[in-house]
Structure formats: structure tokens, C-alpha cells
């Protein structure tokens, strides 16, 4: 269960400005149903060029609805030039904060706003964001967009990038590329973090190994899975074998085998030990099976 502020809950349970403005001056869409969140924003200008009405339609979670609701409140009364300065941070701050794994909802609001303003000006998209090269094919995110969320939100890890724009949250194949972008922008900040990483090749006690596996799953794997409604649970560790179970969307995902090898196993080998291999505990999905569960974090 996510921890939401009272403001998030208020805008989720009582969203403002739901629907579509009649005969709008600007229409913008962001996200996609296939990726789990989608937002359509419409606005109308008055004779002085100020946004006199704004409405939204959103498909998504509580954070997506609350972010969209707040977006409409923030832009009403503004000129388009003023509205262009509304950032995803403004949306999140207005809500008293969002769980980091949900920050992409605030980014989606900002993207829909930019798309709507571009639409008003007769453009299809905002050029500098969408002209870049696609880095994450799973979510269609470009290098420009990744660079932008890193700069605007001072992000220093791949996991944060996933939380803010979903890139890296699917098959994981682009995470190396994302890390390069993070490093190219943040330089020293990333290197400071790297020092904190456990040294590879050192001899770990069984307890240390389990703790490190758990930590790696929590920090390196889970955020990406959660970004699209999934989760992972560490079931057991037997020697070099790590047994996990996928939860939520991941449990039904046809790509779970791929995720297990190319994301989970790769991360555990990178951060804990190259000897580790991962197996999925399919039995644990069925109720009634007894397993020694090391992980009760969810």
C-alpha cells in the first residue's frame, strides 16, 4: 500500500476538472494505455490569452489522477507562457510529495501540458523532448527525455530515472545505456554513490549474502517492476541459487522468464556475486504452500 499525503487522497477521491473542455484551444495527450497510465488534457483560453478552463481524463492510479487534477488547478488563470513553466516538481510539491516510484505521474502531467500547448501552436509535439533517439523501446522513452528528467530532478541513479519516466522498468535491456546518461550528466555525484557499492569478489558470510541479495532486490530490481504494477519477493537462498516469486502484473507477464534472467539475475551477479543464479518459485504463487520467507518487504 502506497503512503499518500492527505492532498493526494483529496485530489484522488475528489478530482477537480474531470472531463473535456468543449471546443478546446489546446489538446495534449501523454502516456499510453499499454504502459498503464494515460492522460488527456484540454484547455480553453479567454480573450486575454489566459487559461480560463482546463479539464483532464486520466487512466491510471491514485497518483496519476491526483497529479492530473492538480495540473488543471495550477494552470488555470495562467497565460501559456506562464503555464510552460509549470514543472513536474511543482505538481508533486503541490501534492505534498509523491512516493518516488510514482513520480512518473507528475512527469506525465507536465508532458500532457507541453503537448497541449504545442497543439495550440499548431505543432504535434514538443521538439526538444521527442526528437531524440529512443533509448527505452519498452516505454518509448528518448535520450532527450531521460536527460531532461535527470537535470530537472537532480537524479543520480537508474532506479530514479525509472521512477520518473519508466525508462528501464520493462525488460531492463536499456539500463546500461541509462546509467551512461546518468553518469555523463551527474559525474561526481554518481561516482560518490559507486563507492558505497559492495566490493565484488569479497567473501561473504551467509547472512551478509542474504542481506546483500535483499538490498539489491529492493534497490535495483523492485523499483523497475513496481513502475508497471509488478513486484518480486525473495523466497529463499540455497547456496548460489536464489529463489524468487513474481507478484502483481509480473506474475502473469509472459516476459517474466526474461526479466528473471536479464534483470534479476544480472543485477544479483553484478552487485552480489557472479556465481549466483536465479530460479522462480512457481509453487509459491498458489496459496497454502509453505516456504521460508526471508523477505516480508512489499
Measured in whole angstroms, how far is the alpha carbon of residue 254 from the centre of its chain?
21
State the number of binding residues for ligand FES (CB under 6 A).
11
Site for ligand FES, residues 128 to 167, rule: CB under 6 A: 136-138, 167
The percent of the chain in helix, strand and coil, each rounded to the nearest 5, is 50, 20, 35
- Which grid coordinates are listed for 253? 507477464
- Which grid coordinates are listed for 99? 512516493
User: Is the Cβ of residue 187 or residue 229 nearer to ligand FES in the bound state?
Assistant: 229
Tell the smallest beta-carbon distance from residue 225 to ligand FES (Å): 11
The reply to whether 105 belongs to the active site is yes
Contact characters 55-84, ligand FES, x per CB under 6 A: ------------------------------
Tell the smallest beta-carbon distance from residue 178 to ligand FES (Å): 8
Residue 38: beta bridge partners? 31, 59
Q: What are phi and psi of 203, to 5 degrees?
A: -80, 125
Tell the smallest beta-carbon distance from residue 173 to ligand FES (Å): 4
10 Å Cβ neighbour count for 238? Answer: 8
Tell the smallest beta-carbon distance from residue 113 to ligand FES (Å): 25
- H or E stretch covering 74: helix 62-75
CB within 8 Å of 164: residues ≥ 6 apart? 88, 103, 104, 107, 149, 153, 155
Q: Where are the beta strands (DSSP E) in the chain?
A: 26-32, 37-45, 51-59, 134-136, 141-142, 230-238, 241-248, 277-280
Q: What are phi and psi of 132, to 5 degrees?
A: -70, -175
User: Is the Cβ of residue 15 or residue 140 nearer to ligand FES in the bound state?
Assistant: 140
User: Is the Cβ of residue 178 or residue 276 nearer to ligand FES in the bound state?
Assistant: 178
Distance of alpha carbon 80 from alpha carbon 276, whole angstroms:
54
Helix axes 6-13, 62-75, angle to 10 degrees: 90
Contact characters 13-52, ligand FES, x per CB under 6 A: ----------------------------------------
- Which grid coordinates are listed for 120? 495550440
Site for ligand FES, residues 165 to 194, rule: CB under 6 A: 167-174
Length of the chain: 298
User: Is the Cβ of residue 118 or residue 150 nearer to ligand FES in the bound state?
Assistant: 150
263 near ligand FES, rule: CB under 6 A: no
Tell the smallest beta-carbon distance from residue 136 to ligand FES (Å): 3
User: Is the Cβ of residue 99 or residue 173 nearer to ligand FES in the bound state?
Assistant: 173
The reply to whether 250 belongs to the active site is no
**From 61, 105, 138, 250, the catalytic residue:** 105
Tell the smallest beta-carbon distance from residue 170 to ligand FES (Å): 3
Half-sphere exposure of 144 (CA within 13 A, CB side): 9
User: Is the Cβ of residue 10 or residue 262 nearer to ligand FES in the bound state?
Assistant: 262
Residues that bind ligand FES (CB under 6 A): 136-138, 167-174
Catalytic residue list = 35, 105
Amino acid at each position: 500500500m502506497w503512503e499518500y499525503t492527505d492532498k493526494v487522497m483529496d485530489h484522488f477521491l475528489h478530482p477537480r476538472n474531470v472531463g473535456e473542455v468543449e471546443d478546446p484551444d489546446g489538446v495534449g495527450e501523454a502516456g499510453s494505455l499499454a504502459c498503464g497510465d494515460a492522460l488527456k488534457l484540454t484547455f480553453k483560453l479567454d480573450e486575454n490569452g489566459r487559461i480560463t478552463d482546463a479539464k483532464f481524463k486520466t487512466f491510471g492510479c491514485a497518483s496519476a489522477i491526483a497529479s492530473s487534477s492538480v495540473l488543471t488547478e495550477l494552470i488555470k488563470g495562467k497565460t501559456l507562457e506562464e503555464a510552460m513553466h509549470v514543472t513536474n516538481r511543482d505538481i508533486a510539491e503541490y501534492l505534498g510529495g509523491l512516493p518516488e516510484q510514482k513520480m512518473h505521474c507528475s512527469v506525465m502531467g507536465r508532458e500532457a501540458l507541453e503537448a497541449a500547448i504545442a497543439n495550440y501552436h499548431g505543432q504535434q509535439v514538443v521538439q526538444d523532448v521527442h526528437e531524440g533517439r529512443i533509448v527505452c523501446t519498452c516505454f518509448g522513452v528518448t535520450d532527450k527525455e531521460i536527460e531532461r528528467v535527470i537535470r530537472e530532478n537532480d537524479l543520480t541513479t537508474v532506479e530514479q530515472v525509472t521512477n520518473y519516466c519508466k525508462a528501464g522498468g520493462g525488460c531492463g535491456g536499456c539500463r546500461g545505456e541509462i546509467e551512461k546518461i546518468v553518469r555523463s550528466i551527474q559525474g561526481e555525484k554518481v561516482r560518490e554513490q559507486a563507492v558505497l557499492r559492495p566490493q565484488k569478489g569479497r567473501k561473504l558470510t551467509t547472512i551478509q549474502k542474504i542481506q546483500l541479495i535483499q538490498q539489491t532486490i529492493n534497490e535495483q530490481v523492485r523499483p523497475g517492476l513496481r513502475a508497471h504494477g509488478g513486484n518480486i519477493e525473495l523466497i529463499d537462498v540455497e547456496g548460489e541459487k536464489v529463489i524468487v516469486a513474481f507478484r502483481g502484473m509480473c506474475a502473469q507477464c509472459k516476459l517474466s522468464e526474461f526479466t528473471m534472467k536479464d534483470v534479476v539475475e544480472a543485477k544479483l551477479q553484478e552487485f552480489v556475486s557472479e556465481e549466483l543464479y536465479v530460479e522462480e518459485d512457481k509453487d509459491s504463487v498458489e496459496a497454502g504452500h509453505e516456504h521460508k520467507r526471508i523477505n516480508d518487504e512489499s
